[in-house]
């Protein structure tokens, strides 16, 4: 993974409901062509070097990004022990929906087309959230994700969806192929040669960023919606 220049992000505190606020980092380039929300389960939040690398690559092609932690610090600690929250797709997708509604209260991005970039179980949460708000979500990308955990909601997804999996992540390839068969939208399954689950091999995360950038540019960078959502 190559090094990109340091960047400044606005730290945001996102009210999900009256009892819960999540932390996020919002980055908006000049004249943004769209905005992408990063959706992750446990152990890989807004400070993950992989997430930040892909977000910077998107920013460099004119796409705004919101990186957020779907679990609080206390929940993250508990989940490292019990590993139950990361598989609670209903809870995660509800928080994605809340963050999305908050995002469209921000005047600098409220007019933009929206995409989700999900990884691991966060990919399922992104797809469920996309299915529940088909008029808002214009594209979804999954990196090494578990879209199969979206279950029956896959049939309801209307956003064009790109699934990216490493060639050495054999079990996840199979699960992605099963989910792919249940998607009835514009879709693509890309296998990155030589990559394992975390895309830690030289050049593999760059390929993810390139594929995601092309997908989002294609589906987000057309004329903005101009609606108030």
Residue of 170, 169, 120, 185 whose CA lies nearest to 149? 120
Computed on alpha carbons and rounded to an integer, the radius of gyration of the chain in Å comes to 16
Residue 198 · residue 170 · CB < 8 Å: no
- Interval 52-77: pLDDT, tens: 999 999 999 999 999 988 887 787 77
- Interval 148-163: pLDDT, tens: 999 999 999 999 999 9
- Interval 92-103: pLDDT, tens: 999 999 999 999
Residue 66 CA to residue 48 CA, distance in Å, equals 13
Beta-strand (E) ranges in 44-202?
Answer: 64-68, 114-119, 137-143, 161-166, 187-192
pLDDT for res 72: 79
pLDDT for res 182: 98
Residue 199 CA to residue 92 CA, distance in Å, equals 23
Residue 37 CA to residue 39 CA, distance in Å, equals 6
């Amino acid at each position: 993974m190559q090094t990109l220049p340091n960047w400044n992000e606005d730290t945001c505190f996102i009210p999900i409901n009256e009892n819960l606020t999540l932390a996020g980092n919002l980055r908006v380039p000049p004249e943004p062509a769209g905005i992408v929300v990063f959706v992750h389960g446990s152990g890989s939040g807004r400070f993950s070097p992989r997430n930040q690398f892909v977000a910077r690559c998107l920013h460099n092609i004119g796409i705004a990004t919101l990186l957020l932690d779907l679990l609080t610090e206390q929940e993250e600690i508990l989940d490292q022990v019990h590993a139950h929250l990361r598989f609670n797709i209903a809870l995660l997708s509800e928080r994605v929906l809340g963050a999305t509604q908050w995002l469209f209260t921000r005047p600098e991005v409220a007019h933009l087309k929206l995409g989700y970039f999900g990884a691991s179980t966060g990919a399922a949460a992104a797809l469920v959230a996309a299915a529940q708000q088909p008029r808002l979500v214009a594209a979804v990308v999954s990196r090494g994700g578990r879209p199969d955990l979206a279950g029956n909601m896959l049939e309801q997804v209307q956003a064009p969806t790109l699934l990216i999996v490493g060639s050495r992540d054999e079990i996840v390839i199979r699960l992605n192929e099963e989910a792919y068969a249940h998607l009835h939208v514009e879709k693509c399954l890309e296998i990155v040669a030589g990559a394992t689950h975390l895309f830690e091999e030289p050049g593999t995360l760059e390929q993810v960023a390139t594929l995601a950038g092309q997908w989002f540019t294609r589906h987000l960078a057309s004329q903005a919606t101009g609606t108030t959502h």
